[in-house]
Each structure stands twice: as structure tokens, then as C-alpha cells.
């Protein structure tokens, strides 16, 4: 079995030999291998390889050049020839045989994918996928358009899977797993309100009310700065629920630091919305009520 690692620096292991990105015959042969490894078992046409490899401007002799690069890869990686080769030729392109080649990204995609019945990936499967992510995807290709697209697509899939799995973990009462998954979801998709909502819930249920409120404040600030819009109704209702569920008296007795953090966040929200219609910021009246009740 040949193993290809695309998280972090590209590495190929097989036949007792470990080859780094520098051992693959140059930048373009390496990129061809990476493109094929992203879809093991799926033929990739020469035209598509050339389109990606030369950013839409392949040279007139690109067919011969691609064939020479494939020869370089087969020779350096001992990938075989003919119909039984790990790197096989199809009628229009090339394909990696999934029976002979194992790719970390392909395994991660499979773990993050929905079940055949349409159910979201389980927390256990998503945690397995996270163990495979040992570095930035395709880090050897920081500027290639096709690699950037792959990174964006994977980040979106990872964020969605982590958000859904965090919700399942929360429902199952596993607060620590829900919190871990929600943090990853937010990191991968900073403007996903669903991810932020799961983070807020996980923090709240873990007893970190002030951090849950801080999460909303971060979401709101980011959306206003980058998108010019307020968080949606679901996020705002959750924010109000956390405010109403927070006991200032209890916080004062048990955790003075949490009290100060909470009051600072409440004051910031109050000051930011002081000139706004209460109806435009559903949490504003609740903020005012809690500030007055606190006596601070």
C-alpha cells in the first residue's frame, strides 16, 4: 500500500521508503500527484490537469509535457506501468488506484461525509477525521488557485460537519466534545452563525456564561466590521437566553472575575445600542434590565 499525506508537507510512503515533496521530480510533477490524490479512483483528464497546472494557459505541447511528468512520478515513486499500475492511464487522463493508494484527505472526506441515510457524521467520526489533520492542506502549494479552492472547500465541509457533530454531542450531554467541535467549526468558517451558535451553547452548558456572551460579542463585531450586518434572529434569541440564564448574584458570590467580564460585555452591548431602537437589538432591553439589577 502506498500512502500519500496532503495535510502538511506532501509525503509519499511505500515499499519501505518515505519520500518528501522535494523527491517528486519538481513542482509540477508534485502538483499532478496531489491533484490525482485528491480524487483517488476518479480519472482526471489531461485537459483538466493542464488547466489547473498552468492556471488556464497551458503551453501548446502540454500533452507531451504532462506525459513526461507522469513518467517522472512513476519512476521516482515506483508506481508501476500498465493496467495494474498504482498510477494508471485512462482513455483521456490518469487515475490513482484506491486499492493501492491511501490518501489522508480522502479518508478525512469519507469520515466527514453524511451517512447513506442522510444523517450527519457522528461526533466520533468527526473526531477521527480531526486526528488526520496534522497540518495545512496542500501547504506546498500556497499560491496555486486549484489548491486554494481545495482548501476552501475542505474548510467548509469541516465546519459544517463539526457544527452538526457538536449539536449531536450537546444533545447527548457530552459538553466537552461539543465545545471542542464547535471551536473547530468557528475557526474553519468565521462567519458561520450556526457554528457560533453551537459554540455559545457549548460554553453556556459548560458553565462558561461570560465566555458564551463573549462569543456572541465576537460574532457581532466581526459581522458588523466585515459584512455590515447584525447577527440573525436565532443568534440574537440565543444571546438573550444566555443573558436571562445568567445569575449576577451567583456570579458575585462564586466568581468575581466572571462577574466583571459579564458586566463589561453587558455595558459594551448597551453602549453600542444606546441610540438604536430596542426592536433592532432584541438583547438591548435585557441588557438594560440586568445592568440596573446589578446595581453597578
Range of the domain at 296: 207-296
Task: Give the residue ranges of DSSP H helices in the chain.
Answer: 27-37, 46-53, 62-77, 104-112, 123-132, 145-171, 175-188, 193-205, 209-226, 233-245, 248-254, 256-272, 284-294
253 and 229 within one domain: yes
Which of 72, 103, 134 delimits the end of a domain?
103
When divided into structural domains, the chain yields a total of 3
Closest CA to 97 of 42, 28, 47: 42
- Which residues does 160 contact at the CB level (< 8 Å), separation at least 6? 185, 189
How far from 5 is each of 43, 75, 218, 231, 281, CA to CA, in Å? Answer: 19, 19, 35, 38, 48
19 and 96 within one domain: yes
- pLDDT (0 to 100) of residue 78: 84
8 is a domain residue: yes
- pLDDT (0 to 100) of residue 283: 57
Which of 53, 85, 103 delimits the end of a domain?
103
Chain-centre distance for alpha carbon 243: 29
246 and 282 within one domain: yes
C-alpha span between 141 and 147 (Å, rounded): 6
- pLDDT (0 to 100) of residue 279: 46
- pLDDT (0 to 100) of residue 269: 60
Chain-centre distance for alpha carbon 160: 8
174 and 240 within one domain: no
9 is a domain residue: yes
Q: Are 105 and 61 in contact (CB under 8 A)?
A: no
Which of 178, 206, 234 delimits the end of a domain?
206
The one-digit pLDDT tens for each residue of the chain (296 residues) are 999 999 999 999 987 899 999 999 999 999 999 999 999 999 999 999 999 999 999 999 999 999 999 999 998 998 877 667 899 998 889 999 999 999 999 999 999 997 666 678 899 999 999 999 999 999 999 999 999 999 999 999 999 999 999 999 999 999 999 999 999 999 999 999 999 999 999 999 998 988 999 999 999 999 999 999 999 999 999 998 888 875 444 444 445 555 565 566 666 566 655 555 544 455 555 555 555 554 44
Q: Which CATH number is 30's domain given?
A: 1.10.10.10
Residue 48 burial (10 A CB sphere; 0-12, 13-18, 19+): middle
225 is a domain residue: yes
Amino acid at each position: 500500500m502506498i500512502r500519500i499525506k496532503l495535510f502538511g508537507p506532501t509525503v509519499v510512503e511505500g515499499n519501505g521508503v518515505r519520500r518528501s515533496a522535494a523527491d517528486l521530480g519538481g513542482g509540477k510533477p508534485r502538483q499532478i500527484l496531489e491533484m490525482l490524490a485528491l480524487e483517488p479512483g476518479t480519472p482526471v483528464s489531461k485537459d483538466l490537469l493542464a488547466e489547473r497546472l498552468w492556471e488556464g494557459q497551458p503551453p501548446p505541447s502540454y500533452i507531451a509535457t504532462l506525459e513526461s511528468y507522469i513518467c517522472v512520478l512513476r519512476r521516482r515513486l515506483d508506481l508501476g506501468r500498465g493496467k495494474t499500475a498504482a498510477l494508471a492511464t485512462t482513455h483521456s487522463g490518469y487515475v490513482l488506484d484506491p486499492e493501492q493508494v491511501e490518501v489522508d484527505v480522502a479518508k478525512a472526506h469519507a469520515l466527514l461525509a453524511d451517512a447513506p441515510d442522510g444523517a450527519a457524521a457522528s461526533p466520533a467520526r468527526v473526531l477521527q477525521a480531526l486526528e488526520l489533520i496534522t497540518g495545512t492542506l496542500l501547504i506546498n502549494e500556497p499560491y496555486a488557485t486549484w489548491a486554494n479552492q481545495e482548501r476552501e472547500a475542505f474548510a467548509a465541509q469541516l465546519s459544517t460537519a463539526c457544527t452538526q457533530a457538536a449539536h449531536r454531542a450537546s444533545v447527548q450531554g457530552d459538553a466537552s466534545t461539543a465545545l471542542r467541535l464547535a471551536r473547530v467549526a468557528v475557526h474553519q468558517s468565521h462567519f458561520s452563525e450556526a457554528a457560533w451558535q453551537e459554540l455559545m451553547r457549548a460554553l453556556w452548558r459548560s458553565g462558561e456564561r461570560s465566555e458564551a456572551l463573549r462569543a456572541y460579542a465576537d460574532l457581532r463585531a466581526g459581522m458588523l466590521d466585515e459584512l455590515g450586518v447584525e447577527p440573525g434572529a436565532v443568534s440574537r434569541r440565543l444571546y438573550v437566553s444566555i443573558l436571562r440564564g445568567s445569575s449576577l448574584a451567583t456570579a458575585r458570590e462564586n466568581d468575581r472575575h466572571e462577574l466583571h467580564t459579564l458586566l463589561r460585555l453587558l455595558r459594551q452591548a448597551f453602549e453600542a445600542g444606546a441610540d438604536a431602537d430596542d426592536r433592532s437589538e432584541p438583547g438591548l432591553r435585557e441588557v438594560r434590565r440586568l445592568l440596573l439589577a446589578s446595581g453597578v
